Chains A and B, each alone.
Chain A
Amino acid sequence: MNTNPHNAMDYGEETLRLIAGLPAPAGVEERVHAALRAAPDKARDKGHVLAWPARWRAKAVLESDWMRAAAAAAIVFVVVGGGWGVYTRVQQGQTGSVVVMPLRAPSSGGFAGAGAMRTPSTLPGTKSREQGSKGARERETQPVKMPAAPKKHSAQPANQVAPTPVVSQ
């Protein structure tokens, strides 16, 4: 063992060389063989993402170049055809610029509207031209001055019919 500090690096390398020279445990090869035999079929496969079914592959029909080309052409045809179909439908849908509201179908049950139409609630009073102006808004905020009620000059109101005298016979 070298304890000289000037040869420190030699010492470090010696350790690494000792470790690098350690023999592999017995039976490593056999265990690796066993691991390879037990490897899943996916690893034994050719590494394709998609593979033909084993029955077809055994017949080797689908391994030929023309069959691959035909399959690729079919895939391209389906993709392009689908895209074209979507494109044409979108074009037809965009031709109408007016949005048509659906008609309301009369409800089968419940109360009927009897032809009544809903009218929007309006503001009380008449609308003047200056409505919306500053003066109009001020007037709106102030309490409404109601005209005074007519004074009762007689004990009996004019619209009241005088009682008919009872005639005794």
Chain B
Amino acid sequence: MSASQAIFASQAITAGWMEIPTSAVDEEARRRAEDAAIAALVDQYAGALYRVAYSVLRNPSDAEDAVQEAFVRVLRHRQTLAEVRDQRVWLIRIVWNIVLDRKRRAKTRPETDDVSELTRVLPAKGLSAEELAAAAEHHAHVLGCVNQLPAKEREVLLLSAFDELTSVEIAAVLGISESSVRSRLFRARNLMAELLDHERSLR
């Protein structure tokens, strides 16, 4: 099945006008339609989910594993796919829970950001080698401060960095109200400013 056909099937199922046959005879057809819908979701959202996972895990292979695990979970619960209103937020919520769980399990690992990895990953347009190294060191320092934030504030701050997510969608991902998102974001920004100022004064 081509990507356009898969997207068409996904949209049709989501919109509700393409009825997934419920009779036992059409079980195979139903399954094929669900597979097509999931394939369309992969094509559409795998990249976004990867970025969400990477923002927390900061490891490419771990982030990709998390994305794969998220879609395997979708496959496992595909009968509920038609009931989902906003699939993007739903998928981000799934991958968010996976990465938080992984982060919690790997807590014994030191939370240090590899400067060389950041140098390799982050964009370096028009920067000399020295500037690039300084920028990477600074980014690592900022990420270290982010890690010092309380979990609730850190989560909101990380999700707010995604331009495509509104505060309503962040609230839906985290399962809290929009006003909580705003207040947590306010606290997170203040804490970050204090931490960065403090670090600068020590230098």
Contacts and interface: CB of A to CB of B under 8 A. Distances in A.
Q: Does B bind A? A: yes
B68 A12 contact: no
A35 interface: yes
Contacts of A63: 24, 27
Given A20-B51, A21-B51, A43 B75 contact: yes
Contacts of B24: 60, 63-64
Interface stretch (B10-18, B81-89, B157-165): B157-165
A57 B27 CA distance: 10
Contacts of B131: 1
Contact of B139 (A9, A15, A32, A45): A15
Interface string B135-173: 100110011011000000000011011110000000000
Contacts of B51: 20-24
A9 B54 contact: no
B200 interface: yes
A7 to B, nearest CB: 9
Interface string B56-75: 00101000100110011001
Nearest to A29: B46
B31 to A, nearest CB: 8
Interface in A114-158: none
Contacts of A55: none
A59 B179 CA distance: 53
B42 interface: yes
A74 interface: no
Contacts of A13: 161, 189
B121 interface: yes
A28 B65 CA distance: 10
Interface in A60-86: 60, 63-64
B38 interface: yes
A31 interface: yes
Interface of A: 1, 5, 8-9, 11-13, 15-25, 28-29, 31-33, 35-36, 39, 43-47, 57, 60, 63-64
